[in-house]
Amino acid sequence: MKEEKFQARIDAEQKIEPKDWMPDAYRKHLIRQISQHAHSEVIGMQPEGNWVTRAPSLRAKMILLAKIQDEAGHGLYLYSACETLGVSREQLVQQLHDGKAKYSSIFNYPTLNWADMGAVGWLVDGAAIVNQVSLQRTSYGPYSRGMIRICKEESFHQRQGYEIMATMASGTPEQKQMAQDALNRIWWPSIMMFGPHDSDSPRSGNALKWKIKRETNDELRQKFIDKTVQQTEVIGLTIPDPDLKWNKERGHYDFGEINWEEFWNVVKGNGPCNKQRLDHHKKAHSEGKWVRDAARVHQNKKELVTT
């Protein structure tokens, strides 16, 4: 009965808010999805933070810092939305540390040269944008509003990345080589971001029924590839996929098969940076404990200043 009323609201495109009744499975699914999205933003600060102290110009430095700051902010919006479902930030962080919650696999790849900052901004943020635009219409209110906010802020991220790639692709021979190298390494992990084929994705059914997800993995992946091929051609680089070809009948690009063995391997924890990313997060967290404790103890004393 409650379930029927709930589904009717979903079907009528109404938003579900924190105080509304919801099936336990819906709540659990959302907690998992939103928290993993939040963790991804936070872990994503590491591969970019890796190059921020070496950014090659004042402008590049400031833009990259602003981007990373946005990412931290997105993490906070999402943790905030997730907490409305009855879970605390502390629990979410614990789940991340225990390996119970995952984050986007793309961040388990290393950033090896400055061009990676371009490729990540252009492709990884580009893929995220395709996904996030779709999520703006998700059924859970706080998540939807968070996504709308995030999407507004996301557009400069992709442009920042693309501009770096364009500049390097038309720069010195070394710069062009670095740009192509970054593209070669980051292309496939980027399209893996959209997840397995829908036929191999067990949770997709419910996610679509409850309008948590609005489009399938394969639909979103195709959208991204169609957009990006032309952008690559404009800057004179080559996508590392010999099977990439425009299909006139479909009106889309055909592309090669993803290396699913690599995909599942990284998801399972065997990617190049899985251990490093998590260790880094745990270290920052544990090294900061004395600070958080002091702030909490000080909570009841009232000597703070406003000037």
Partner 1 sequence: MSNLLNYTLRIADNAMILGQRMSQWCSNGPTLEEDIAMVNISLDLFGQANGFYEYASSVDGTKSADDFAFLRSEREYLNNLIVEQKNGHFGDTIVRNFLFDVYTVLFYTKLGKSKDEILSALGSKSLKEAKYHLRHSSNWLIRLGDGTQESKGKIQKSLNNIWMFTGNLFEMDVLDSEMASAGIGVDNIALKSDWDKKVNEILDKAKLSRPKDAYMQTGSKNGIHTEHLGHLLSEMQYLQRAHPNAKW
Partner 2 sequence: MSDNTDVWEVFIQSKNGLPHKHAGSVHATDKEMALQNARDLYTRRNEGSSIWVVKTTDIVASQAEDADLFFDPSDDKVYRHPTFYTMPDGAKHI
Q: Which residues bind partner 1 (CB under 8 A)?
A: 42, 45-46, 49, 52-62, 65-66, 68-69, 72-73, 75-76, 79, 114, 167, 171-172, 174-175, 280-281, 284-285, 287-295, 297-298, 301, 303-307
C-alpha R_g of the chain: 21
Candidates 76, 208, 229, 244: give the one binding partner 2 (CB under 8 A): 76
Candidates 50, 84, 177, 204: give the one binding partner 2 (CB under 8 A): 84
Which three-class secondary structure state does DSSP give residue 253? strand
> Could you give the CA distance from residue 48 to residue 111 in angstroms, rounded to a whole number?
7
196 binds partner 2 (CB under 8 A): no
Q: Which does 61 bind (CB under 5 to 8 A by kind): partner 1, partner 2, none?
A: partner 1
Among residues 80 and 231, whose Cβ is nearest to partner 2?
Answer: 80
Candidates 90, 249, 261, 287: give the one binding partner 2 (CB under 8 A): 90
Cβ at position 182, least distance to partner 1 in Å: 14
> Could you give the CA distance from residue 218 to residue 199 in angstroms, rounded to a whole number?
10
> In whole angstroms, what separates CA 201 from the centre of its chain?
18
Among residues 172 and 230, whose Cβ is nearest to partner 1?
Answer: 172
Which among 143, 106, 153, 146 is positioned nearest to 32, based on CA atoms? 143
Token look-up 């395709």 returns 130
x/- mask, partner 2, residues 30-59, rule CB under 8 A, reads ------------------------------
Neighbours of 168 (CB within 10 A): 25
Question: What are the backbone dihedrals phi and psi of residue 283, each rounded to the nearest 5 degrees, phi first?
Answer: -65, -50
Which three-class secondary structure state does DSSP give residue 113? coil
Q: Which DSSP string do the residues of 142-164 spell out, in sequence order?
A: HHHHHHHHHHHHHHHHHHHHHHH
Cβ at position 49, least distance to partner 2 in Å: 17
Cβ at position 19, least distance to partner 2 in Å: 6
Which three-class secondary structure state does DSSP give residue 245? strand
Cβ at position 90, least distance to partner 2 in Å: 5
Q: Which does 12 bind (CB under 5 to 8 A by kind): partner 1, partner 2, none?
A: none
Cβ at position 142, least distance to partner 1 in Å: 18
> Could you give the CA distance from residue 30 to residue 23 in angstroms, rounded to a whole number?
11
Q: Which does 5 bind (CB under 5 to 8 A by kind): partner 1, partner 2, none?
A: partner 2
Burial class (CB in 10 A: 0-12, 13-18, 19+), 234: exposed
Instruction: Name residues contacting partner 2, limited to 115-144 (CB under 8 A).
Output: 142
> Could you give the CA distance from residue 153 to residue 67 in angstroms, rounded to a whole number?
9
Instruction: Name residues contacting partner 2, limited to 144-183 (CB under 8 A).
Output: 145-146, 149, 153
Bridge partners of residue 254, in order along the sequence: 245
Total residues contacting partner 2 by CB under 8 A comes to: 40
Cβ at position 71, least distance to partner 1 in Å: 10
65 binds partner 2 (CB under 8 A): no
